[in-house]
Amino acid sequence: MLGLFRMVLGLLFTSEGAATVFGILDRKASPVGDWPFWYAGVIELVCGVLVLLGVATRSAAFLSSGIMAFAYFTEHQKDGLFPLQNGGLAPVLFCWGFLLLVFFGPGALSLSGLLGRETPSPSAARGTA
C-alpha cells in the first residue's frame, strides 16, 4: 500500500512541477529563473519523477517536503492561520506525505528496491516488518 501511496504522490507532484515549468494543464508557465516559482517547479518535476519511480526516494522526499514547507510558510500562511483559510492545503498535504516517505521508505515496487539499492526501513532492518 505504501508503494501505491508513493506512486500517486509522485505523479501528483510531477504534474504540479510540469504545470509550473511547461505551462500545461491549464496553467501559465512560470518564467525561467523566476524566484522561487520556477525553481520550485523544477524541484517538483524532478523529485516527483524520482518518487514516482522509487529512485532515491528518501532524498527526493526530504527535499520535496522541505520545499513544500517553505512554500506554505512563505506564500500561504501570511493569508491566514489554517490551510483551509489560506489556500495552503496542497502544500501541507504534500509536505506531510513526503515526510512519511522519508521515514518509511518507498514501499513495494520501487525501482531502487527491484535493483536492490534501497535501504530498508528501520522496522525491516530490525526484522519487525
Q: What's residue 108's pLDDT? A: 85
Considering the chain, what is the average pLDDT of its residues?
91
pLDDT for residue 128 is more than 70: no
Residue range 97-114: mean pLDDT, rounded: 93
| pTM for the structure as a whole | 0.86
| Grid cell listed for 41 | 517547479
Tens-digit pLDDT profile for residues 43-94: 999 999 999 999 999 999 999 999 999 999 999 999 998 999 999 999 999 9
Confidence class of residue 102 from pLDDT cuts 50, 70 and 90? very high
Gap between the Cα atoms of 97 and 7, Å rounded? 11
How far is Cα 126 from Cα 99, in angstroms, rounded to an integer? 21
> What DSSP designation does 28 have?
P
Instruction: List Cα–Cα distances, 6 to 25, 47, 81, 89, in angstroms.
Output: 22, 12, 28, 19
Percent with pLDDT over 70 in the chain: 91
Locus of grid cell 506525505: 97
Q: Are 26 and 10 in contact (CB under 8 A)?
A: no
120 confidence band (pLDDT: 50, 70, 90): low
